[in-house]
Amino acid sequence: MSRKRQPHFAALFIAIAFSTGPVAADEVLEEIIVTADFRERRAAELSPSVKVLDDTAIEERAVQHFEELIASVPNLNWSGDGHRARYFQIRGVGELEQYEGAPNPSVGFLIDDIDFSGIGTIATLFDIEQIEVLRGPQGTRFGANALAGLIYVQSREPSAG
Amino acid sequence: MTNVPAASAYRPAATVARGCRFRARRAAAGEDLPRFRVVRTASRSGRFSRQRVSLTRTTPITRREETTLRGKTATGRPDQRTGTCVTLAGLYADIDDGYDAFAIDNSLTMRSDKPGRDAQESVGASLRADWHASERVDVRRPLRSAADSTIDFSFDADWGNDDFWAPFTYDFTTVSDRERRTASQELRLASGPAGRLFGDRADWLVGVYVQRLEDLVTTRNEGIYVDPGSGFNAVDRRPAGQRFRGAQHGGVRPARHRRRRRRTDYVRPARRAPGYRLHGFGRAGARARGIDAGRRTRVPARVRRRPVGLRRAVERLQSRRLQSRWCRKGAASSGRRPCGTWSSACARRGWTTRCC
């Protein structure tokens, strides 16, 4: 019985191998464009380590605040004074709770290009399009205000109609 | 996430998303109308709160109110390399969360009389305009942004109320008010499609970024901590004996024996609140040593040091209260308890000199 089945399995394997080849060549992969750097670039072209969370990731998790997404970002932690996350740490560098302020926060935090570094309590996620977390110093971009990294939040752009 | 052509056809200098981040498929065909987007979201919660004393039940400690308002308007034709694309974004957020639901006795009943809040109110705006000056140069993101935030953070540092801590006086709060203002200006010049260097192999970009930051923090630690409740009474018993042999009997060879026993009764005030237990942080007062023992034990004879300065003043106050307590107890009992020094406090209470 086993000898009779051998040609049958071989034919099936060959058919699967040839049938999947042309389909894969026609697929267009969706690219991730990161805008937190000087230029909008593909995530694969960026030199720093980056994590991008889009609106799909936010909707899938049904979260309300950015602190609920932090578990999905490697090397990003948060701390807060009371209820919400207020301070962020990237790779272990950043302010902790009851921090009373300093001239240069370690982790930059921007919402629609508005600087909220060191006061991330307002990072609600409704109608947010994309969150980019850049790990590592972003000194050329934001000076000493992003020594450990940068969190860049963008809300949805207005559409034409 | 943005849909762009396949990797083989992608060229960063020619993407429609570059500059304005607008998508070509979202632009109106043949029209250049301003586009608006305004979003408001609000969240209310706080039906859950622990049972509380010393506060009305209409103000839950864990009440949370979060409101966010975002607006954005944009003009321009992002799908073409002509003209200017302008985006104005605004943000208002009011986060007012209660969180200070901590029970000092590890129960479900809160004793806090001044529960804290974790709040932040921010308003900010940013303006950006991407101008395609020529095929060689793009003026990218001439950006100006400003934000003004007010952050409040507070907590009840004693997590109790006056009745709970009596006879101790322990009422402490920490309030931190923070004002933070930022303003930034940025300008970038970037290479256009015809402006690349080294034979169309490298992009270039020059820019300047200036930010002004004002951060003012005012922290108030207010409160009082008076611990009147410790002291001790000591009785030393030292029977001794000695046998002498005179010099006429071959020298002085005294034989002595001494036995010492010290009995110390530490005084600790009775708590009015039921279920009271000593907590670790309560030992930080000037009379912590008395509280720490609370049982019959042997201690060195010189157990107390002479206090100085503020500590001396505090101990005087405590001693006066302690004497008053002894007087009251002594008057009720047979008077066997030791009496302290008569003071004006005793006179105001009408106590007799027999007690005090």
A56 interfacial to chain B (CB closer than 8 Å): yes
Checking if the pLDDT of B270 tops 50, the result is no
Note which residues in 102-141 of chain A have CB less than 8 A from chain B.
Answer: 102-103, 111-119, 121-122, 124, 126-127, 130, 141
- Distance of alpha carbon B101 from alpha carbon B196, whole angstroms: 60
User: B43-52, B177-186, B194-203, B230-239: which has the minimum mean pLDDT?
Assistant: B43-52
Mean pLDDT (whole number) for B200-207: 82
Q: Is there a contact between A82 and B99 if contact means CB atoms under 8 Å apart? A: yes
Asked if the Cβ–Cβ distance from A118 to B180 is below 8 Å, we say yes
pLDDT at A62: 84
Question: Average pLDDT per run of 10 along chain A, which is 161 residues long?
Answer: 54 56 59 72 76 88 88 90 86 80 78 89 90 85 78 87 59
- Residues of chain B with Cβ-Cβ distance to A126 below 8 Å are 39, 41, 68
Q: Which of A124-128, B61-65, B279-283 has the highest mean pLDDT?
A: A124-128
pLDDT tens-place string over residues B144-202: 899 999 999 898 888 888 888 887 788 888 888 889 998 988 888 888 878 788 887 88
Best-predicted range by mean pLDDT among B2-6, B39-43, B246-250, B280-284?
Answer: B39-43
Name the residue facing B41 among A121, A126, A130 (closest C-beta). Answer: A126
State which H helix or E strand residue A131 sits in.
strand A128-135
State phi, psi for A51 to the nearest 5 degrees. Answer: -125, 125
A86 contact residues in B (CB cutoff 8 A) = 120, 151
pLDDT at position B12: 31
CA gap B267, B289 in Å, rounded = 11
B55 vs B130: CA distance, rounded Å: 56
Task: Verify whether the Cβ–Cβ distance A54 to B124 is below 8 Å.
Answer: no
* Interchain pair A127, B74: CB under 8 A: no
Q: Do A81 and B118 touch (CB under 8 A)?
A: yes
- Pull the structure tokens for residue B70: 């975002």
End-to-end Cα, chain B, rounded Å = 83
Per the CB < 8 A criterion, the answer to whether B232 and B319 are in contact is: no
Contacts of B145 in chain A (CB under 8 A): 113-115
* Lowest mean pLDDT across A67-81, B13-27, B245-259: B13-27
pLDDT at B2: 38
Contacts of B28 in chain A (CB under 8 A): 160-161
Residue B84 in contact with residue B76, Cβ under 8 Å? yes
pLDDT for B70: 92
User: Between these two residues, B91 and B136, which has the higher pLDDT value?
Assistant: B91
pLDDT of residue A57: 87
B314 phi-psi bin (left φ>0, alpha ψ -120 to 50, beta other): alpha
Best of A27, A55, A78, A83 to disrupt the B interface (most B CBs within 10 Å) is A83
Closest listed residue to residue A27, CA positions, set B1, B7, B12: B7
Cβ–Cβ contact A99 with B under 8 A? no
For chains A and B, what is the number of CB pairs under 8 angstroms?
186
Phi-psi region of B247 (alpha: psi -120 to 50; beta: other; left: phi over 0): alpha
Q: What is the pTM of this model?
A: 0.63
A160 contacts in chain B (CB < 8 Å): 26-28, 31, 33, 35
B180 or B9, which is more confident? B180
Q: What is the ipTM of this complex?
A: 0.76
Return the minimum-mean-pLDDT range out of B78-87, B144-153, B162-171, B283-292: B283-292
Cα pseudo-dihedral A143, A144, A149, A152, rounded to 10 = -50
Mean pLDDT of chain B, nearest integer = 68
Tell me the mean pLDDT in the region B96-120: 83
| Average confidence (pLDDT) over B233-254 | 68
The distance of B111 to chain A (nearest Cα, Å) reads: 18
**pLDDT band at residue B132 using 50, 70 and 90 as cut-offs:** confident
Instruction: Choose from A121-135, B80-94, B231-245 the range with maximum mean pLDDT.
Output: A121-135
| Nearest-Cα residue of chain A relative to residue B93 | A122
Pairing relation of β-strands B231-237 and B137-156? Answer: unpaired
What's the DSSP call for residue A116?
A: -
Contacts of B95 in chain A (CB under 8 A): 84, 121-122, 124
| Per-residue three-class SS string for chain B | CCCCCCHHHCCHHHCCCCCCCCCHHHCCCCCCCCEEEEEEEEEEECCCCCEECCCCCCCCCCCEEEEEEEEEEEECCCCCCCCEEEEEEEEEEEEEEECCCCCCCCCCEECCCCCCEEEEEEEEEEEEEEECCCCCEEEEEEEEEEEEEEEEEEEECCCCCHHHHCCCEEEEEEEEEEEEEEEEEEEEEEECCCCCECCCCECCEEEEEEEEEEEEEEEEEEEEEECCCCEEEEEEECCEEEECCCHHHCCCCCEEEECCEEEEEEECCCCCCCCCCCCHHHHHCCCHHHHHHCCCECCCCCCCCCCCHHHHHHHHHHHHHHHHHHHHHHHHCCCCCCCCCCCHHHHHCCCCCCCC
B117 or B282: which leads in pLDDT:
B117
Residue written as token pair 């007799």: B352
Q: Which helix (H) or strand (E) holds A106?
A: none
Placement of tokens 């042997």 in the chain: B298
DSSP assignment letter at A156: P
